[in-house]
Structures are given as structure tokens and as C-alpha cells.
């Protein structure tokens, strides 16, 4: 329990730089692992089962839903995507901090299943900066950019449901901020249950002069 990893839910606006942040965190520290999603869509060339996704059939996916085996799931373009609970639990038990990149609003659902999870919201320093980043990609039409900004506007109020707001102004500063947040979470009482029990019992014994 005390050495269990922490489930870190990372949400944020599209274009906030979550992917780069997570990649850098995984590269710099051994103690993080990325949650692998399960999907019914066909593997694309180069995608590996168990690394990029757990590829499965529609039947097996629905069995997993029915068995309560998913942390969260959604259907998109006729395919299922979800987060297998067992994989996350295995990694946590192995002491890894498991990172779950998830849609805004989904974070609070995860927290119901894993009350000790850390909910982080990643945002650019300003709306203007988000627009700049979306435009800098140079791959999207004006319509798509406005859609993404409109969606960000809808998502903004949900920032308050997250435990920490990480302002992505600088990649390295952000990576170490997330690492500090995860590190500090290990000092919470719900991660010190055994310590609290033991010291309480020992103090009782010692103060009786029995030891």
C-alpha cells in the first residue's frame, strides 16, 4: 500500500501540449508508466498490441464492460476505446505512477473508482497562446481551429474539478512541476495508513512503560 504508485489523470485543452509533457515525463523518470487503452479498431501499420493499444473484438470489449473491467470507455467512429482497470492496477501495485490521459469531465469518474488518484489539468498560459499553438500546427482548417477553441471554452469551467492546474508555459518547468505534485502526494495520510497504525500502537505500548 505505502509503496503503491499513484494514478495520475491528465486532462486539458486540445493543443495544451499534454502529449509532449507526458512523453518527457516518461523519458526522464523511471517511476512513471502510461496506461494502455483497449480498442476494437484495427491496428494501423506499426502499432503493437499491448504497447500502443490492447486490440480486441467488439464482443470481448463488451464482456469487459459488463464485468466492470474498464475504468472509463467511449465509442468513437463506430469503435470502442477504454481503459482496462486490471492493467492500471498491476502497474500501481508494481509501484509505478500510472498516467492516464483522459478527456475533460472523465477525470471525476476515474476518481470515484480510484479516490487516491491525482487530477491534473494542463492549460496553456492564455487563450491567445492556445490559438497560436493550434494555428502553428498548420494542419487544420479555420473551422476546425474555431471548433477546438469553442470546445476549450466549454471545458474551461471544469478546471475547478481538478486538483491541480498546470500552466504549460515551459516544457521542463512543467515536467518538474508534475513530478513534484506526484512526489508530494506520497505524504498524504491515505498513503501512510500502516505508519499511522504502527506508531499509534507503539506509542500506547511505550507510554504504559511496557516496553
What are the residues binding a copy of itself (CB under 8 A)?
121, 123, 126-128, 130-131, 146, 149-150, 152-153, 156-157, 159-160, 162-167, 177, 180-181, 183-184, 187-189, 192, 195-196, 198-200, 202-207, 209
Nearer to a copy of itself, 41 or 179 (CB): 179
How many other CB atoms sit within 10 Å of the CB of residue 190? Answer: 10
CB of 144 to a copy of itself, least distance (A): 12
Nearer to a copy of itself, 138 or 157 (CB): 157
Q: Compute the distance between CA of residue 185 and CA of residue 118 in angstroms, rounded to an integer.
A: 8
CB of 193 to a copy of itself, least distance (A): 9
Nearer to a copy of itself, 38 or 119 (CB): 119
CB of 95 to a copy of itself, least distance (A): 18
Nearer to a copy of itself, 59 or 142 (CB): 142
Residues in Cβ contact with 79 at an 8 Å cutoff, skipping those fewer than 6 apart: 39, 40, 41
Hey, is 119 helix, strand or coil? strand
Q: Compute the distance between CA of residue 167 and CA of residue 123 in angstroms, rounded to an integer.
A: 5
CB of 123 to a copy of itself, least distance (A): 7
Distances (CA, A) of 39 to 70, 73, 110, 113: 11, 9, 18, 21
Q: Compute the distance between CA of residue 37 and CA of residue 54 in angstroms, rounded to an integer.
A: 6
CB of 133 to a copy of itself, least distance (A): 12
Amino acid at each position: 500500500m505505502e509503496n503503491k504508485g499513484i494514478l495520475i489523470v491528465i486532462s486539458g485543452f486540445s493543443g495544451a501540449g499534454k502529449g509532449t509533457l507526458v512523453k518527457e515525463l516518461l523519458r526522464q523518470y523511471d517511476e512513471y508508466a502510461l496506461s494502455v487503452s483497449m480498442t476494437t479498431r484495427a491496428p494501423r501499420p506499426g502499432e503493437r498490441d499491448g504497447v500502443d493499444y490492447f486490440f480486441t473484438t467488439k464482443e470481448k470489449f463488451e464482456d469487459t464492460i459488463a464485468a466492470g473491467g474498464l475504468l472509463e470507455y467511449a465509442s468513437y467512429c463506430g469503435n470502442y476505446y477504454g481503459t482496462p482497470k486490471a492493467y492500471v492496477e498491476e502497474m500501481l501495485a508494481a509501484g509505478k505512477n500510472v498516467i492516464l490521459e483522459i478527456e475533460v469531465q472523465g477525470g471525476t469518474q476515474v476518481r470515484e473508482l480510484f479516490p487516491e488518484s491525482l487530477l491534473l489539468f494542463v492549460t496553456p498560459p492564455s487563450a491567445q497562446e492556445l490559438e497560436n499553438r493550434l494555428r502553428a500546427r498548420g494542419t487544420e482548417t479555420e473551422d476546425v481551429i474555431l471548433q477546438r477553441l469553442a470546445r476549450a471554452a466549454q471545458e474551461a469551467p471544469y478546471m475547478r474539478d481538478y486538483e491541480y492546474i498546470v500552466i504549460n508555459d515551459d516544457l521542463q518547468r512543467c515536467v518538474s512541476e508534475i513530478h513534484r505534485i506526484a512526489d508530494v502526494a506520497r505524504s498524504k495520510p491515505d498513503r501512510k495508513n500502516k505508519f499511522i497504525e504502527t506508531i499509534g500502537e507503539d506509542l500506547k505500548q511505550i507510554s504504559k512503560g511496557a516496553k
